[in-house]
């Protein structure tokens, strides 16, 4: 058993990535503590809205760049000339998309601020983010190359340096500028990541040997981007929009303070989810892209549920019993209600991790219809359940809705992969019957 754990590549990647995540975890707790002290529950809610918005815009601007790039890189990694065309196609396409989106943000900054914050006082923060959006997309492009090359150590080092710098700027700005500083820190954090990545790219020119600005967009690769982009566009819009609508609904039916406690619970969840989800994206996406048969996927799936899921469950149990200590470290007394309702978030996250085992396969193989069904069902059920439960149970109702939506999603995805399980059952029965016959 110990030998198999040592040889498990997924576990190795997650273990190495855990160094970065451990740094992020500690810095995240301190950053959250600073937010809870200087901004309170209302500030937590406002920052949550802005983060949802920036995440949405980044996702729309990148439109599945990482997933589609990895797929094409794996298929053409031995053809340097073709890789150059792929690089150029991605670079120019996503630069154009991000520039158009940036112009949209600049023009409608006041309206966006009204929707997010119920005031246009923060329109300049939104404009600043819009100006940086093309650079953020270029940074995503660089990171996609590192990911496709499986330069896990390089990515982890980049993450650590970026997180330390971002924490320093965030702490300074919040302490000195309150909510204005907090919103500005979200934008400056993106800029810092671009600068750090660029410094690494300058040293690693050999990784970009095939890239040339003179090469143009190629239609066949644009078609691949189109497939992945349609999936990414749905997620980019529907997921953050769902969270923003839920937050605004909690504010309207109860208070911004209650919405802040709900955001704090989500933030607490992100501490441990980051450990596992980031390791999965580093290893699982390139690995699944290289698999060509259902048998190979079954082997990978077995490894996932044999090693990864029990490990995550153990971590959740530890979090549950240590929640009091962690919450005291990360929040003030104003967020004490998180301790009472965290169980719903933990159960929902456990179901989500199990769902990801199949979800990544759907994404990397570009099963668009399945992806659309899953995204729409999850977000629609999450939102509708919130509309029913939040008036009854306040923000706890939103957490209950999160658990129920993940349960619905997990059952649905098992049904979608029923043929895979059925073929395994039939194969097992056949082998058992054959062995009995020989006996």
Which band of pLDDT confidence, cut at 50, 70 and 90, is reported for residue 388?
A: very high
Q: Rounded CA gap, 95 and 62, in Å? A: 9
Question: Which residues make Cβ contacts (< 8 Å) with residue 31, sequence separation at least 6?
Answer: 167, 170, 171
Question: 127-131: long-range contacts (C-beta < 8 A, 24 or more apart)?
Answer: 128/184, 128/187, 129/54, 129/57, 129/105, 129/186, 129/187, 129/190, 130/57, 130/101, 130/102, 130/103, 130/104, 130/105, 130/106, 131/102, 131/106
Q: What is the pLDDT of residue 423?
A: 56
Residue 417 tokens, joined: 């992969």
For 48-81, the DSSP string reads: HHHHHHHHHHHHHHHTTHHHHHHHHHHHHTT-HH
Would you state the pLDDT for residue 124?
A: 92
Q: What is the pLDDT of residue 397?
A: 94
Query: What's the pTM?
Result: 0.72
Give the per-residue pLDDT at 299: 81
pLDDT value, residue 223: 66
- Name the region of 317 (left: φ>0; alpha: ψ -120 to 50; beta: rest): alpha
Q: Residue 207 has what pLDDT?
A: 56
What's the CA gap between 269 and 323, in Å, rounded?
A: 11
Question: Is 214 a residue whose pLDDT tops 80?
Answer: no
**Across 381-388, average pLDDT:** 96
Residue 1: which pLDDT band, with cuts at 50, 70 and 90? very low
**What is the Cα–Cα distance from 106 to 127, expressed in whole angstroms?**
5
Residue 435 lies in a domain: no
Say if 436 falls within a structural domain.
no
Per residue in 53-111, pLDDT (tens digit) is 988 888 778 776 666 677 677 677 666 777 777 777 777 878 888 899 999 999 999 99
Using alpha carbons, select from 66, 90, 13 the residue that is nearest to residue 279: 13
Q: Please, which pLDDT band fits residue 234 given cuts at 50, 70 and 90?
A: confident
Using an 8 Å Cβ cutoff, are 146 and 193 in contact?
no
Residue 385 · residue 249 · CB < 8 Å? no
Q: Tell me which residue of 193, 344, 192 sits closest to 266, measured CA to CA.
A: 344
Instruction: Report yes or no on 226 lying in a domain.
Output: yes
Compute the distance between CA of residue 317 and CA of residue 432 in angstroms, rounded to an integer: 37
Q: Which of 1, 144, 157 is nearest to 70 (CA)?
A: 144
pLDDT: is 37 or 20 the higher one? 37
Return the structure tokens found at 307. Answer: 């090693």
Residue 437 lies in a domain: no
- For the chain, what is the domain count? 1
Say whether pLDDT at 6 is over 60.
no
Q: Is residue 148 part of a domain?
A: yes
Residue 438 lies in a domain: no
Q: Which domain, by its residues, includes 17?
A: 2-430
Between CA 85 and CA 225 the distance in angstroms is: 13
Q: In whole angstroms, what is the distance from residue 53 CA to residue 405 CA?
A: 22
């Amino acid at each position: 058993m110990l030998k198999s754990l040592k040889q498990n590549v997924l576990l190795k990647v997650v273990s190495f990535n855990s160094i970065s995540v451990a740094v992020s975890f500690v810095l995240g707790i301190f950053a959250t503590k600073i937010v809870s002290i200087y901004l309170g529950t209302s500030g937590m809610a406002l920052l949550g809205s802005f983060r949802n918005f920036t995440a949405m815009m980044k996702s729309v601007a990148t439109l599945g760049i990482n997933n589609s790039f990895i797929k094409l890189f794996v298929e053409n990694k031995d053809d340097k000339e073709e890789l150059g065309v792929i690089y150029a196609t991605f670079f120019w396409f996503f630069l154009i998309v991000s520039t158009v989106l940036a112009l949209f943000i600049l023009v409608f900054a006041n309206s966006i601020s009204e929707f997010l914050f119920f005031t246009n006082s923060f329109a300049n923060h939104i404009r600043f983010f819009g100006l940086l959006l093309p650079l953020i997309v270029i940074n995503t492009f660089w990171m996609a190359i590192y990911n496709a090359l499986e330069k896990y150590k390089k990515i982890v080092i980049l993450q650590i340096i970026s997180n330390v710098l971002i924490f320093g700027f965030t702490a300074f700005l919040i302490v000195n500028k309150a909510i204005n500083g907090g919103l500005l820190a979200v934008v400056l954090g993106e800029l810092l990541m671009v600068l750090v990545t660029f410094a690494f790219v300058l040293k690693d020119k050999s990784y970009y040997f095939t890239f040339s600005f003179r090469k143009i967009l190629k239609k066949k690769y644009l078609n691949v981007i189109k497939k992945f982009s349609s999936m990414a566009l749905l997620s980019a819009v529907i997921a953050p929009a769902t969270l923003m609508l839920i937050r605004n609904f909690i504010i309207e039916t109860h208070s911004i303070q209650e919405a802040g406690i709900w955001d704090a619970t989500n933030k607490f969840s992100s501490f441990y989810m980051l450990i596992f989800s980031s390791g999965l994206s580093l290893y699982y996406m390139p690995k699944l892209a290289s698999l060509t048969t259902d048998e190979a996927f079954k082997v990978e799936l077995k490894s996932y549920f044999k090693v990864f899921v029990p490990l995550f469950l153990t971590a959740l149990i530890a979090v549950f019993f240590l929640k009091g200590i962690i919450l005291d470290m990360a929040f003030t007394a104003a967020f004490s209600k998180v301790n009472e309702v965290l169980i719903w978030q933990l159960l929902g996250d456990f179901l989500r991790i199990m769902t990801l085992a199949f979800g990544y396969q759907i994404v990397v193989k570009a099963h668009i219809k399945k992806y659309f069904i899953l995204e729409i069902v999850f977000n629609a059920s999450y939102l509708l359940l919130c509309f029913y439960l939040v008036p009854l149970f306040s923000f706890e109702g939103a957490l209950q809705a999160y658990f129920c939506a993940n349960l619905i999603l997990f059952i649905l995805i098992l049904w979608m992969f029923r043929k895979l399980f059925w073929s395994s059952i039939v194969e097992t029965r056949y082998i058992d019957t054959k062995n009995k016959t020989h006996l």
